A and B are shown apart, each in its own frame.
Chain A
Amino acid sequence: MRRTVASAALVIAAMGLGRLINDHVPLGDSADRPFVSTGEVGRPVVLDYAEVTVTAVHVTPTVMGNPASASGGRWLVVDTELLARTRPTLMSGFFLVDAQDHRWIASTRGSECASSASLSTGVRHYASFCFDVPRRALGGARLVATRGAWTSHESEFRRDAVADVDLGIAGSEVDDLWAQQEPLDVRESGPVPPGEARR
Protein backbone atom coordinates (compact mmCIF):
# COMPACT_ATOMS: atom_id res chain seq x y z
CA MET A 1 0.00 0.00 0.00
CA ARG A 2 2.79 2.36 0.99
CA ARG A 3 4.55 1.53 -2.26
CA THR A 4 1.44 2.33 -4.30
CA VAL A 5 1.04 5.69 -2.58
CA ALA A 6 4.71 6.49 -3.20
CA SER A 7 4.37 5.61 -6.90
CA ALA A 8 1.29 7.78 -7.26
CA ALA A 9 3.06 10.67 -5.51
CA LEU A 10 6.03 10.24 -7.83
CA VAL A 11 3.82 10.35 -10.93
CA ILE A 12 1.99 13.43 -9.69
CA ALA A 13 5.29 15.14 -8.86
CA ALA A 14 6.66 14.32 -12.33
CA MET A 15 3.55 15.74 -13.98
CA GLY A 16 3.81 18.89 -11.86
CA LEU A 17 7.48 19.29 -12.79
CA GLY A 18 6.62 18.86 -16.49
CA ARG A 19 3.94 21.51 -16.23
CA LEU A 20 6.35 23.84 -14.43
CA ILE A 21 8.99 23.40 -17.17
CA ASN A 22 6.37 23.83 -19.90
CA ASP A 23 5.05 27.03 -18.35
CA HIS A 24 8.26 28.75 -17.36
CA VAL A 25 11.08 27.55 -19.62
CA PRO A 26 10.93 29.25 -23.07
CA LEU A 27 11.46 26.06 -25.03
CA GLY A 28 9.59 27.32 -28.09
CA ASP A 29 11.61 30.52 -28.27
CA SER A 30 14.96 28.80 -28.07
CA ALA A 31 13.87 26.22 -30.65
CA ASP A 32 12.58 28.75 -33.17
CA ARG A 33 14.59 31.90 -32.73
CA PRO A 34 17.14 32.79 -35.42
CA PHE A 35 20.69 33.84 -34.57
CA VAL A 36 20.77 37.58 -35.15
CA SER A 37 23.88 39.59 -35.96
CA THR A 38 23.32 43.33 -35.90
CA GLY A 39 25.04 46.00 -37.93
CA GLU A 40 24.80 49.43 -39.45
CA VAL A 41 25.14 51.06 -42.85
CA GLY A 42 28.61 50.70 -44.34
CA ARG A 43 29.79 47.87 -42.07
CA PRO A 44 29.69 44.21 -43.10
CA VAL A 45 27.63 41.86 -40.97
CA VAL A 46 29.35 38.49 -41.00
CA LEU A 47 27.07 35.45 -40.95
CA ASP A 48 28.29 31.87 -41.15
CA TYR A 49 27.23 31.64 -44.80
CA ALA A 50 27.56 35.22 -46.08
CA GLU A 51 28.64 38.77 -45.47
CA VAL A 52 25.90 41.38 -45.76
CA THR A 53 26.74 45.07 -46.15
CA VAL A 54 24.20 47.85 -46.61
CA THR A 55 26.05 50.40 -48.73
CA ALA A 56 23.38 53.08 -49.16
CA VAL A 57 19.76 53.95 -48.35
CA HIS A 58 17.47 56.09 -50.54
CA VAL A 59 13.92 57.42 -50.16
CA THR A 60 12.05 58.45 -53.30
CA PRO A 61 8.50 58.59 -54.67
CA THR A 62 9.57 57.16 -58.04
CA VAL A 63 11.80 54.33 -59.16
CA MET A 64 12.93 54.85 -62.74
CA GLY A 65 12.35 52.18 -65.35
CA ASN A 66 10.36 51.61 -68.49
CA PRO A 67 7.87 52.78 -67.39
CA ALA A 68 8.75 54.40 -64.07
CA SER A 69 7.02 53.06 -60.96
CA ALA A 70 5.39 55.46 -58.54
CA SER A 71 5.13 54.27 -54.96
CA GLY A 72 1.92 53.89 -53.00
CA GLY A 73 3.76 55.62 -50.13
CA ARG A 74 7.51 56.06 -50.67
CA TRP A 75 10.20 53.76 -52.00
CA LEU A 76 12.79 52.92 -49.39
CA VAL A 77 15.59 51.50 -51.53
CA VAL A 78 18.41 49.64 -49.79
CA ASP A 79 21.63 49.02 -51.72
CA THR A 80 23.55 45.96 -50.56
CA GLU A 81 26.83 44.20 -51.15
CA LEU A 82 26.61 40.45 -50.51
CA LEU A 83 29.30 37.78 -50.39
CA ALA A 84 28.85 34.02 -50.02
CA ARG A 85 31.65 32.83 -47.75
CA THR A 86 31.95 29.08 -48.19
CA ARG A 87 29.47 27.80 -50.76
CA PRO A 88 26.98 29.07 -53.36
CA THR A 89 24.08 30.53 -51.43
CA LEU A 90 20.58 31.68 -52.26
CA MET A 91 19.37 34.48 -50.00
CA SER A 92 15.60 34.87 -50.33
CA GLY A 93 14.73 36.79 -47.20
CA PHE A 94 15.10 40.58 -47.35
CA PHE A 95 12.52 42.50 -45.37
CA LEU A 96 12.22 45.63 -43.24
CA VAL A 97 11.37 45.87 -39.57
CA ASP A 98 10.24 49.28 -38.33
CA ALA A 99 10.49 50.90 -34.92
CA GLN A 100 7.14 49.33 -33.90
CA ASP A 101 8.43 45.87 -34.89
CA HIS A 102 6.14 45.67 -37.92
CA ARG A 103 7.33 43.87 -41.05
CA TRP A 104 7.46 45.27 -44.61
CA ILE A 105 8.22 43.13 -47.67
CA ALA A 106 10.17 44.06 -50.78
CA SER A 107 8.47 44.90 -54.06
CA THR A 108 9.51 43.58 -57.45
CA ARG A 109 7.94 46.43 -59.40
CA GLY A 110 11.01 48.38 -60.45
CA SER A 111 12.75 46.47 -63.23
CA GLU A 112 16.02 46.38 -61.28
CA CYS A 113 14.57 45.87 -57.81
CA ALA A 114 15.71 42.52 -56.42
CA SER A 115 13.72 40.15 -54.25
CA SER A 116 16.47 37.59 -53.69
CA ALA A 117 20.15 37.12 -54.39
CA SER A 118 21.90 34.08 -55.82
CA LEU A 119 25.48 34.26 -54.61
CA SER A 120 28.54 32.49 -56.03
CA THR A 121 31.20 31.64 -53.49
CA GLY A 122 33.67 34.47 -52.99
CA VAL A 123 32.16 36.72 -55.68
CA ARG A 124 30.75 40.02 -54.48
CA HIS A 125 27.15 40.55 -55.52
CA TYR A 126 25.41 43.93 -55.59
CA ALA A 127 21.63 44.15 -55.26
CA SER A 128 19.06 46.82 -54.38
CA PHE A 129 15.86 46.01 -52.53
CA CYS A 130 12.87 48.34 -52.97
CA PHE A 131 10.25 48.63 -50.25
CA ASP A 132 7.03 50.54 -50.89
CA VAL A 133 6.12 51.76 -47.41
CA PRO A 134 3.97 54.33 -45.64
CA ARG A 135 5.56 57.14 -43.64
CA ARG A 136 5.34 55.29 -40.33
CA ALA A 137 7.72 52.57 -41.55
CA LEU A 138 10.67 54.90 -42.16
CA GLY A 139 11.83 55.96 -38.68
CA GLY A 140 14.14 53.38 -37.11
CA ALA A 141 13.79 50.96 -40.04
CA ARG A 142 16.13 47.97 -40.15
CA LEU A 143 16.91 45.59 -43.01
CA VAL A 144 16.73 41.93 -42.11
CA ALA A 145 18.59 39.61 -44.49
CA THR A 146 18.58 35.82 -44.37
CA ARG A 147 18.25 32.74 -46.53
CA GLY A 148 14.58 31.92 -45.99
CA ALA A 149 11.85 34.07 -47.49
CA TRP A 150 9.58 36.06 -45.20
CA THR A 151 6.26 34.43 -44.41
CA SER A 152 3.66 35.43 -41.86
CA HIS A 153 4.94 32.70 -39.53
CA GLU A 154 8.58 33.66 -40.08
CA SER A 155 9.23 29.93 -40.18
CA GLU A 156 11.60 29.87 -43.14
CA PHE A 157 14.62 31.12 -41.21
CA ARG A 158 14.17 29.49 -37.82
CA ARG A 159 17.53 28.90 -36.16
CA ASP A 160 19.25 30.38 -39.20
CA ALA A 161 21.78 33.20 -39.10
CA VAL A 162 20.15 36.56 -39.79
CA ALA A 163 21.66 39.99 -40.45
CA ASP A 164 19.75 42.86 -38.83
CA VAL A 165 21.08 46.19 -40.13
CA ASP A 166 19.99 49.56 -38.74
CA LEU A 167 19.39 51.83 -41.72
CA GLY A 168 20.17 54.91 -39.64
CA ILE A 169 16.90 56.79 -40.23
CA ALA A 170 16.14 58.92 -37.18
CA GLY A 171 12.55 59.90 -36.45
CA SER A 172 13.47 63.57 -36.93
CA GLU A 173 14.62 62.88 -40.50
CA VAL A 174 11.41 61.26 -41.69
CA ASP A 175 9.62 64.46 -42.81
CA ASP A 176 12.58 65.59 -44.93
CA LEU A 177 13.01 62.16 -46.48
CA TRP A 178 9.29 61.95 -47.23
CA ALA A 179 9.40 65.32 -48.98
CA GLN A 180 12.18 64.27 -51.37
CA GLN A 181 10.97 64.16 -54.98
CA GLU A 182 14.10 63.09 -56.87
CA PRO A 183 13.43 59.86 -58.82
CA LEU A 184 15.92 57.04 -58.36
CA ASP A 185 17.73 54.95 -60.94
CA VAL A 186 18.07 51.56 -59.27
CA ARG A 187 21.27 49.82 -60.23
CA GLU A 188 21.25 46.42 -61.87
CA SER A 189 21.85 43.41 -59.60
CA GLY A 190 24.96 41.35 -60.22
CA PRO A 191 28.69 41.11 -59.74
CA VAL A 192 29.54 44.50 -61.25
CA PRO A 193 30.11 47.22 -58.63
CA PRO A 194 27.63 50.07 -59.03
CA GLY A 195 30.37 52.64 -59.73
CA GLU A 196 31.66 50.64 -62.71
CA ALA A 197 28.14 49.88 -63.94
CA ARG A 198 27.37 53.57 -64.32
CA ARG A 199 30.49 54.37 -66.35
Chain B
Amino acid sequence: MGENVALGRGVLRRARTYVSGRPTTQKAGAGVAAALLASAPFGGLAAVPEPPPGTLRLGQPIQVGPYEMVIDQVVELPDLAPAVTPQPSERVLVLDAHVTLTGDRPEYAVTLTNHVTVAGGGVEVEGRPSLYFVEDSSRMSGFNPGLTYRLALTFTTSGPWQGDVVTVRTNLVEFREEDRQTLDPDAWVGRDEVEWQGSLPLVRRT
Protein backbone atom coordinates (compact mmCIF):
# COMPACT_ATOMS: atom_id res chain seq x y z
CA MET B 1 0.00 0.00 0.00
CA GLY B 2 2.76 2.43 1.04
CA GLU B 3 4.74 1.52 -2.11
CA ASN B 4 1.76 2.37 -4.34
CA VAL B 5 1.37 5.83 -2.72
CA ALA B 6 5.07 6.53 -3.16
CA LEU B 7 4.90 5.38 -6.79
CA GLY B 8 1.89 7.65 -7.45
CA ARG B 9 3.63 10.65 -5.90
CA GLY B 10 6.67 9.93 -8.05
CA VAL B 11 4.61 9.91 -11.26
CA LEU B 12 2.88 13.14 -10.27
CA ARG B 13 6.22 14.82 -9.48
CA ARG B 14 7.69 13.78 -12.82
CA ALA B 15 4.56 14.98 -14.64
CA ARG B 16 4.69 18.35 -12.83
CA THR B 17 8.35 18.72 -13.72
CA TYR B 18 7.62 17.84 -17.35
CA VAL B 19 4.73 20.31 -17.59
CA SER B 20 6.61 23.16 -15.90
CA GLY B 21 9.39 22.68 -18.44
CA ARG B 22 6.99 23.20 -21.42
CA PRO B 23 6.55 26.58 -23.17
CA THR B 24 3.43 28.62 -22.31
CA THR B 25 1.79 28.04 -25.71
CA GLN B 26 1.98 24.27 -25.27
CA LYS B 27 0.52 24.60 -21.77
CA ALA B 28 -2.38 26.67 -23.16
CA GLY B 29 -3.04 24.14 -25.94
CA ALA B 30 -3.03 21.27 -23.51
CA GLY B 31 -5.43 23.19 -21.27
CA VAL B 32 -7.88 23.75 -24.15
CA ALA B 33 -7.67 20.07 -25.15
CA ALA B 34 -8.32 19.02 -21.56
CA ALA B 35 -11.31 21.37 -21.32
CA LEU B 36 -12.74 19.97 -24.57
CA LEU B 37 -12.33 16.39 -23.34
CA ALA B 38 -13.95 17.31 -20.04
CA SER B 39 -16.93 18.81 -21.92
CA ALA B 40 -17.41 15.68 -24.09
CA PRO B 41 -19.98 14.02 -21.79
CA PHE B 42 -22.05 17.21 -22.05
CA GLY B 43 -21.93 17.35 -25.89
CA GLY B 44 -18.78 19.44 -26.19
CA LEU B 45 -17.40 17.30 -29.03
CA ALA B 46 -20.73 16.68 -30.76
CA ALA B 47 -21.32 18.22 -34.20
CA VAL B 48 -23.48 21.34 -34.29
CA PRO B 49 -26.99 20.10 -35.20
CA GLU B 50 -28.33 21.34 -38.54
CA PRO B 51 -31.33 23.62 -38.22
CA PRO B 52 -34.57 21.81 -39.06
CA PRO B 53 -36.12 22.59 -42.47
CA GLY B 54 -38.73 25.30 -42.69
CA THR B 55 -42.35 24.18 -42.86
CA LEU B 56 -43.73 24.32 -46.37
CA ARG B 57 -47.43 25.15 -46.84
CA LEU B 58 -49.72 25.74 -49.80
CA GLY B 59 -49.69 29.36 -50.91
CA GLN B 60 -46.50 30.15 -49.05
CA PRO B 61 -43.68 31.81 -51.04
CA ILE B 62 -40.39 29.95 -50.65
CA GLN B 63 -36.99 30.57 -52.19
CA VAL B 64 -35.26 27.79 -54.10
CA GLY B 65 -31.94 29.36 -55.09
CA PRO B 66 -32.78 32.25 -57.43
CA TYR B 67 -36.44 31.20 -57.76
CA GLU B 68 -39.39 32.27 -55.68
CA MET B 69 -41.97 29.50 -55.78
CA VAL B 70 -45.52 29.38 -54.45
CA ILE B 71 -47.17 25.94 -54.58
CA ASP B 72 -50.92 26.44 -55.04
CA GLN B 73 -52.00 22.79 -55.11
CA VAL B 74 -50.74 19.23 -55.54
CA VAL B 75 -52.71 17.21 -58.09
CA GLU B 76 -52.58 13.59 -59.23
CA LEU B 77 -53.66 12.77 -62.79
CA PRO B 78 -53.62 9.71 -65.05
CA ASP B 79 -51.82 11.89 -67.63
CA LEU B 80 -51.07 15.48 -68.53
CA ALA B 81 -51.41 15.23 -72.31
CA PRO B 82 -49.86 16.49 -74.48
CA ALA B 83 -47.02 17.30 -72.07
CA VAL B 84 -46.78 14.03 -70.12
CA THR B 85 -48.36 10.72 -71.11
CA PRO B 86 -47.14 7.92 -68.84
CA GLN B 87 -47.97 4.20 -68.95
CA PRO B 88 -51.58 3.35 -67.96
CA SER B 89 -50.39 1.94 -64.64
CA GLU B 90 -48.44 5.10 -63.83
CA ARG B 91 -49.65 8.50 -62.63
CA VAL B 92 -48.54 12.09 -62.94
CA LEU B 93 -48.11 14.11 -59.78
CA VAL B 94 -48.21 17.85 -60.42
CA LEU B 95 -47.07 20.69 -58.21
CA ASP B 96 -49.19 23.54 -59.57
CA ALA B 97 -47.05 26.56 -58.76
CA HIS B 98 -46.28 30.18 -59.55
CA VAL B 99 -42.57 30.71 -60.12
CA THR B 100 -40.60 33.94 -60.42
CA LEU B 101 -36.91 34.23 -61.20
CA THR B 102 -35.44 36.84 -58.91
CA GLY B 103 -32.01 38.37 -59.57
CA ASP B 104 -30.81 40.01 -62.74
CA ARG B 105 -29.72 37.29 -65.14
CA PRO B 106 -31.45 34.40 -66.92
CA GLU B 107 -31.32 30.93 -65.42
CA TYR B 108 -32.14 27.51 -66.77
CA ALA B 109 -35.01 25.51 -65.32
CA VAL B 110 -32.78 22.70 -64.02
CA THR B 111 -31.67 25.02 -61.24
CA LEU B 112 -35.21 24.60 -59.94
CA THR B 113 -36.17 21.08 -61.03
CA ASN B 114 -32.99 19.47 -59.66
CA HIS B 115 -33.83 20.62 -56.15
CA VAL B 116 -37.50 19.77 -55.63
CA THR B 117 -38.53 16.25 -54.61
CA VAL B 118 -41.68 14.47 -53.46
CA ALA B 119 -41.95 11.45 -51.17
CA GLY B 120 -44.51 9.15 -49.60
CA GLY B 121 -47.57 7.55 -51.15
CA GLY B 122 -46.07 4.04 -51.30
CA VAL B 123 -44.91 4.55 -54.90
CA GLU B 124 -41.66 5.13 -56.71
CA VAL B 125 -41.01 8.52 -58.23
CA GLU B 126 -39.17 8.32 -61.55
CA GLY B 127 -36.19 10.64 -61.94
CA ARG B 128 -36.22 14.40 -61.86
CA PRO B 129 -39.38 16.42 -62.43
CA SER B 130 -40.15 18.29 -65.65
CA LEU B 131 -41.53 21.80 -65.94
CA TYR B 132 -44.39 22.86 -68.20
CA PHE B 133 -46.54 25.94 -68.70
CA VAL B 134 -50.04 25.26 -67.43
CA GLU B 135 -51.45 27.56 -70.08
CA ASP B 136 -50.15 25.86 -73.23
CA SER B 137 -48.39 22.66 -72.04
CA SER B 138 -45.10 23.76 -73.57
CA ARG B 139 -41.90 22.92 -71.75
CA MET B 140 -40.22 25.56 -69.65
CA SER B 141 -36.48 25.43 -70.12
CA GLY B 142 -35.19 28.90 -69.32
CA PHE B 143 -36.34 31.85 -67.25
CA ASN B 144 -35.83 35.55 -67.71
CA PRO B 145 -35.80 37.50 -64.45
CA GLY B 146 -38.72 39.47 -63.10
CA LEU B 147 -41.53 37.48 -64.76
CA THR B 148 -43.99 35.21 -62.96
CA TYR B 149 -45.39 32.07 -64.58
CA ARG B 150 -47.93 29.46 -63.59
CA LEU B 151 -46.08 26.20 -64.09
CA ALA B 152 -46.66 22.50 -63.60
CA LEU B 153 -43.76 20.71 -61.94
CA THR B 154 -44.52 17.12 -62.98
CA PHE B 155 -43.34 13.84 -61.42
CA THR B 156 -44.16 10.46 -62.93
CA THR B 157 -44.97 7.86 -60.26
CA SER B 158 -45.05 4.07 -60.55
CA GLY B 159 -48.73 3.90 -59.59
CA PRO B 160 -51.60 5.59 -57.77
CA TRP B 161 -50.58 7.59 -54.71
CA GLN B 162 -51.64 5.99 -51.43
CA GLY B 163 -52.98 8.44 -48.88
CA ASP B 164 -54.04 12.05 -49.04
CA VAL B 165 -50.81 13.92 -48.37
CA VAL B 166 -47.57 14.38 -50.30
CA THR B 167 -44.29 15.27 -48.64
CA VAL B 168 -42.62 17.98 -50.70
CA ARG B 169 -39.00 18.93 -50.05
CA THR B 170 -36.71 21.55 -51.51
CA ASN B 171 -32.95 21.53 -51.08
CA LEU B 172 -30.81 24.46 -50.08
CA VAL B 173 -29.42 26.13 -53.22
CA GLU B 174 -26.65 28.66 -52.66
CA PHE B 175 -24.86 31.14 -54.88
CA ARG B 176 -21.17 30.30 -55.15
CA GLU B 177 -19.04 33.24 -56.22
CA GLU B 178 -15.78 31.33 -56.41
CA ASP B 179 -14.87 27.69 -56.62
CA ARG B 180 -11.20 26.85 -57.00
CA GLN B 181 -11.95 23.18 -57.50
CA THR B 182 -14.26 23.42 -60.51
CA LEU B 183 -13.32 26.88 -61.84
CA ASP B 184 -17.05 27.48 -62.10
CA PRO B 185 -17.66 30.81 -60.37
CA ASP B 186 -20.94 32.67 -59.95
CA ALA B 187 -23.05 29.52 -60.04
CA TRP B 188 -26.08 28.29 -58.10
CA VAL B 189 -25.13 25.09 -56.30
CA GLY B 190 -27.48 22.70 -54.54
CA ARG B 191 -26.49 21.45 -51.10
CA ASP B 192 -27.46 18.07 -49.70
CA GLU B 193 -29.59 19.78 -47.09
CA VAL B 194 -33.37 20.10 -46.99
CA GLU B 195 -34.36 23.75 -46.65
CA TRP B 196 -38.16 23.45 -46.88
CA GLN B 197 -40.39 20.48 -46.19
CA GLY B 198 -44.12 20.09 -45.85
CA SER B 199 -46.97 17.59 -46.04
CA LEU B 200 -49.35 19.00 -48.62
CA PRO B 201 -52.88 17.78 -49.34
CA LEU B 202 -53.33 15.78 -52.54
CA VAL B 203 -56.14 16.49 -55.01
CA ARG B 204 -57.05 13.58 -57.33
CA ARG B 205 -58.41 14.17 -60.83
CA THR B 206 -59.41 11.64 -63.44
Residues of A in contact with B (beta carbons under 8 Å apart): 65, 67-73, 95, 102-109, 131-134, 136-137, 150, 152-153
Closest to B147 in A: A72
Q: Say whether A133 contacts B144, CB under 8 Å.
A: yes
Q: Which residues of chain B (148-206) have a CB below 8 Å from chain A?
A: 148-149, 184-187
How many Å lie between the Cα of A72 and that of B184 in the bound state? 30
Tell me the minimal C-beta distance from A154 to chain B in angstroms: 10
Closest to B106 in A: A105
Q: Say whether B141 contacts A104, CB under 8 Å.
A: no
Query: With an 8 A cutoff between CB atoms, is B138 at the interface?
Result: yes
Query: With an 8 A cutoff between CB atoms, is B142 at the interface?
Result: yes
Q: Say whether B142 contacts A109, CB under 8 Å.
A: no
How many Å lie between the Cα of A71 and that of B142 in the bound state? 14
- Chain B interface secondary structure, helix, strand, loop or mixed? loop
Q: Mark B103-147, 1 if CB is under 8 A from A, else 0.
A: 011110000000000000000000000000101101101101111
Q: Which of B107, B135, B184 contacts A67 (CB 8 A)?
A: B135
CB-defined contacts of B147 to chain A, threshold 8 Å: 71-73, 132-134
23 contacts between A and B (CB under 8 A): A68-B136, A69-B135, A69-B136, A72-B149, A73-B144, A73-B146, A102-B104, A102-B145, A103-B106, A104-B144, A105-B142, A107-B142, A108-B138, A108-B141, A132-B144, A132-B147, A134-B144, A134-B145, A137-B144, A152-B107, A152-B187, A153-B184, A153-B185
How many Å lie between the Cα of A105 and that of B184 in the bound state? 21
Tell me the minimal C-beta distance from B181 to chain A in angstroms: 16
How many Å lie between the Cα of A120 and that of B100 in the bound state? 38
Do A152 and B186 form a contact, CB below 8 Å, given A65-B136, A107-B142, A108-B139?
yes
How many Å lie between the Cα of A136 and that of B139 in the bound state? 25
Q: Say whether B138 contacts A69, CB under 8 Å.
A: yes
Closest to A106 in B: B142
CB-defined contacts of A102 to chain B, threshold 8 Å: 104-105, 145
Tell me the minimal C-beta distance from B83 to chain A in angstroms: 12
Closest to A72 in B: B147
How many Å lie between the Cα of A153 and that of B107 in the bound state? 11
For the complex with contacts A73-B144, A153-B186, 14 further pairs of A-B residues with Cβ separation under 8 Å are A65-B136, A67-B135, A69-B138, A72-B147, A72-B148, A73-B146, A105-B106, A107-B142, A108-B138, A109-B136, A133-B147, A134-B145, A134-B146, A136-B146
CB-defined contacts of B145 to chain A, threshold 8 Å: 102, 134
CB-defined contacts of B136 to chain A, threshold 8 Å: 65, 67-69, 109
CB-defined contacts of B138 to chain A, threshold 8 Å: 69, 108-109
How many Å lie between the Cα of A65 and that of B135 in the bound state? 12
Q: Say whether B186 contacts A131, CB under 8 Å.
A: no
The 8 closest A-B pairs by CB, nearest first: A72-B147, A105-B106, A134-B146, A109-B138, A67-B136, A105-B142, A104-B144, A69-B136
